[in-house]
Amino acid sequence: MFNDINEEMRQRNLRGIVVFGDTTLGNPDLTYVVGGNLARGGYYIKRFNHEPLLVTSNLDLGTARKLHRVKRISTFTEWGLEKLTRKHGRANAYPYLLLMILKKEGIQGKVALYGRNDLALGVRLVDQLRKLGVKVTGESSPTVLEAARETKSPAEIDELQRTAGKTAKVVHSVMDVLRNMKRKRGRLHLGNRPATVGAVKKLIARELAMVDLVAPEGTIFAIGASGADPHNAGNPGDPIKHGKLVVFDIFPQAESGYWFDLTRSFVVGRADQKARHLFETVSDAQNASLDFLREGVSGDEAMDRACRVIEQRGYRTVREIFQGKAKGIPSGFTHSLGHGVGLTIGERPYLTFLSKDPLRKSQVVTVEPGVYLPRYGGVRIEDTVVITSRGVSYLAKVEKELELA
């Protein structure tokens, strides 16, 4: 949580941190510390045990004040950026500016720099700061910011829940439309158009727009064999046909920067035995891990439970790889159980065989087992839940039905 930043700094003996970027877009750490969106980004500087400072462009000053996260706000102009540019040149102005701010804030000792920034530029900045005497240090994962962002505040959970509710609305609308498709000249139709994956995706995008969500990474709507590849987003030309398995994985982002992640798998019409067996296997695997998850257990155990259920039903899982029994598996449960969701769509904590740390209250994770059969199709069922002391709490409730009929 946000309030953990100071403690995380203490543990790493960091006397100061700097989070920066030329925009908050695609910069989750900066979005997090400034408390929202700043079109031109800025520099967030925090001395250990002290109130942070935010330096923004003149244009973003008003917006920054409205975000209410940082109380001490000033502008690049007030810090004399233009003067520094004239004196040291454009490429050198920022290191000198930062040096000045760090001094004025009384930050001595180890400092870490954050924000998603072009690495070649970042390396130059760090090298210059070091030349000027600043003790810049790198970090391995989790960084201070990753560690803080890993557990969510009540306000963050509220925002994730709002995004979840909107996503659920979209999924319900799409399912309703799919349920009510009419057959014309032997083909299913969406209104007057043949029902294809492409047409459904347009519908999804329109429904997302209606609830003010965007899907910067797209949406997966894969039918039949294409659903057997967890990364296949679906072929626009594929017709929607009765009885064929669909994997519908939706991961939209709200204006606030928070994401949500949900997957349902189903067939339109009636399912055959094979689809039914896949669906029940994945559903049971998901329930086994959801029933198990709570504060204090580890991700690898949850992963293990899902794998055991799936293996008992005769499918292969990545457990074989971690046991050293196989180098890869051609079918079955080929990925990991889940990942954190917040200001990114994939962050700590992860639910994999490498996740040994006990899960903590207010972490938000996906639980998404899947089983894939090449040339046939796949089933993945995914919910995003909050870890609590007694179990998990769903961010959105969307029915899990095999047959849309």
In the complex, which residues of this chain contact a copy of itself (CB under 8 A)? 23, 25-26, 29, 39, 58-60, 62-63, 77, 90-91, 112-127, 136-141, 143-146, 202, 205-206, 208-210, 212, 214-218, 229-231, 253, 255, 327-328, 335, 346, 354
Return d(Cα 274, Cα 374) in angstroms, integer. 13
Measured from the CB atom, the residue of 213 and 402 that comes closer to a copy of itself is: 213
Measured from the CB atom, the residue of 176 and 255 that comes closer to a copy of itself is: 255
Q: Would you mind telling me the total number of residues written for the chain in this entry?
A: 405
Cα-based distances in Å from 381 to 263, 384, 399, 400: 5, 10, 11, 8
Measured from the CB atom, the residue of 20 and 267 that comes closer to a copy of itself is: 20
* Minimal distance, residue 164 CB to a copy of itself, in Å: 19
* Minimal distance, residue 377 CB to a copy of itself, in Å: 17
Characterize 343-362 residue by residue with b for buried, 16 or more Cβ atoms within 10 angstroms of its Cβ, and e for exposed: bbbebbbbbbbebeeebeeb
Measured from the CB atom, the residue of 346 and 391 that comes closer to a copy of itself is: 346
* Minimal distance, residue 89 CB to a copy of itself, in Å: 9
Return d(Cα 103, Cα 100) in angstroms, integer. 5
Long-range contacts of 54-63 (CB under 8 A, 24+ apart): 55/79, 55/101, 63/36, 63/37, 63/38, 63/39
CA atoms within 13 A on the CB side of 301: 13
Measured from the CB atom, the residue of 22 and 295 that comes closer to a copy of itself is: 22
* Minimal distance, residue 222 CB to a copy of itself, in Å: 14
Do residues 338 and 351 touch, judged by C-beta distance below 8 A?
A: yes
Measured from the CB atom, the residue of 305 and 339 that comes closer to a copy of itself is: 339
* Minimal distance, residue 202 CB to a copy of itself, in Å: 6
Return d(Cα 158, Cα 160) in angstroms, integer. 5
* Minimal distance, residue 257 CB to a copy of itself, in Å: 10
* Minimal distance, residue 43 CB to a copy of itself, in Å: 12
Non-local (6+) Cβ contacts of 130 within 8 A are 136
Measured from the CB atom, the residue of 18 and 245 that comes closer to a copy of itself is: 18
- Pairing mode, if any, of strands 364-367 and 370-373? unpaired
Per-residue 3-state assignment (H helix, E strand, C coil) for 286-330: HHHHHHHCCCCCEHHHHHHHHHHHHHHCCCCECHHHHCCCCCCCC
Measured from the CB atom, the residue of 51 and 82 that comes closer to a copy of itself is: 82
Nearest Cα neighbor of 283 from 401, 403, 405 is 401
* Minimal distance, residue 82 CB to a copy of itself, in Å: 9
Measured from the CB atom, the residue of 239 and 346 that comes closer to a copy of itself is: 346
Tokens for 403, please give them. Answer: 């047959």
* Minimal distance, residue 405 CB to a copy of itself, in Å: 27
Beta pairing partners, 302: none
Is the preceding peptide bond at 52 cis, omega within 30 degrees of 0? no
Return d(Cα 405, Cα 393) in angstroms, integer. 29
Return d(Cα 26, Cα 299) in angstroms, integer. 27
Measured from the CB atom, the residue of 86 and 274 that comes closer to a copy of itself is: 86
Per-residue 3-state assignment (H helix, E strand, C coil) for 348-388: EEEECCCCCCECCCCEEEEECCEEEECCCEEEECEEEEEEC
Return d(Cα 37, Cα 85) in angstroms, integer. 26
* Minimal distance, residue 318 CB to a copy of itself, in Å: 11
* Minimal distance, residue 344 CB to a copy of itself, in Å: 9
Measured from the CB atom, the residue of 161 and 355 that comes closer to a copy of itself is: 355
